């Protein structure tokens, strides 16, 4: 069982861990309970009513966070020729084909998102054992296999994030930083919830958004009431 530090334990005593809050209340509380001096990330966790063992119930995609992530997103692009030039012009951190693949094979993983043009996917596919476990493998469903690499780079650097159910049916998505205003975190929260509802598999039965919580990187989870998502307008 994970051992938590004194600051975490103190934070858990400052609120009712079983209470269900509105999104704004929960985000405000997550900000207040953040125990560290650094600017922690605020993360949303959602338990979905899906069976992730079934291929048609794996929920994955991307969502554009209107207030951004507050993070400098590092992007690697597997491309050649004009596409490579386009990626560089858009601000990609690493761009290349064979040489970039060789660097990644050698352990260079200094990036948060990997994008590839379709023609280089056979080469990128060979990096599956390196990129796959870290969630970095480009995929058409998340817009990371594309001919429009410049737009993809700009989107991910501007606040677009990927999401995917884990083996328990949970989704984890960053909502921004503790330093963000609650209204900005709430804008991102709503964008993610709207996207998840849009991505609900047709085969999913019963309540889809089963449990919702927000927490800072080092802070405790604060539960959100799924029944109070639509009536939570900022003052």
Contacting residues for 235 by C-beta, under 8 A, at least 6 apart: none
**Helix (H), strand (E), coil (C) string for 133-167:** HHCCCCCHHHCCECCCHHHHHHHHHCCEEEEECCC
Query: Tokens 């449990």 identify what position?
Result: 211
No. of helices (H) and no. of strands (E), the chain: 8, 9
Question: What does the angle CA 186 – CA 158 – CA 64 come to, to the nearest 5 degrees?
Answer: 50
pLDDT digits (tens, 9 = 90+) for 64-106: 999 999 989 999 999 999 999 999 999 999 999 999 999 999 9
How do the domains of the chain map onto residue ranges? 6-69+160-228, 75-157
Per residue in 200-221, pLDDT tens? 999 988 899 999 999 999 999 9
Report the pLDDT value the prediction gives residue 14, as an integer from 0 to 100.
Answer: 74
Strands 94-96 and 75-78: parallel
Strands (E), 56-168: 60-64, 75-78, 94-96, 113-116, 160-164
- Tell me 56's DSSP state: G
Tell me the CATH number for domain 6-69+160-228.
Answer: 3.30.190.20
CATH topology of domain 75-157: Rossmann fold (3.40.50)
Which residues of the chain have a pLDDT value below 70? Answer: 1-5, 9, 11, 231-235
Same fold, 6-69+160-228 and 75-157: no
pTM (2 decimals)?
A: 0.81
What confidence score (pLDDT) does residue 82 get?
97
Residue 235: per-residue pLDDT: 41
């Amino acid at each position: 069982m994970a051992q938590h530090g004194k600051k975490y334990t103190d934070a858990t005593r400052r609120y009712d861990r079983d209470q269900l809050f509105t999104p704004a209340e929960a985000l405000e509380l997550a900000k207040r309970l953040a125990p560290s001096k650094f600017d922690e990330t605020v993360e949303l966790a959602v338990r979905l009513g899906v069976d992730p063992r079934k291929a048609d119930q794996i929920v994955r995609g991307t969502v554009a966070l209107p207030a951004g992530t507050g993070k400098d997103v590092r992007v690697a692009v597997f491309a050649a020729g004009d596409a490579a030039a386009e990626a560089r012009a858009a601000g990609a951190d690493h761009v290349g084909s064979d040489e970039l693949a060789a660097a990644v094979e050698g352990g260079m993983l200094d990036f948060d998102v990997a994008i590839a043009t379709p023609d280089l996917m056979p080469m990128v596919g060979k990096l599956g054992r390196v990129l796959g476990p870290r969630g970095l493998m480009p995929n058409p469903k998340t817009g990371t296999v594309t001919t429009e690499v410049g737009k993809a780079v700009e989107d991910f650097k501007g606040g677009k994030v990927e999401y995917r159910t884990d083996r328990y049916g949970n989704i984890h998505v960053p909502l921004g930083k503790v330093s963000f205003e609650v209204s900005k975190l709430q804008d991102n929260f709503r964008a993610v919830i709207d996207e998840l509802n849009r991505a609900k598999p047709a085969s999913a039965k019963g309540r889809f958004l089963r449990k919702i919580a927000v927490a800072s990187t080092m802070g405790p989870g604060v539960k959100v009431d799924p029944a109070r998502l639509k009536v939570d307008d900022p003052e």
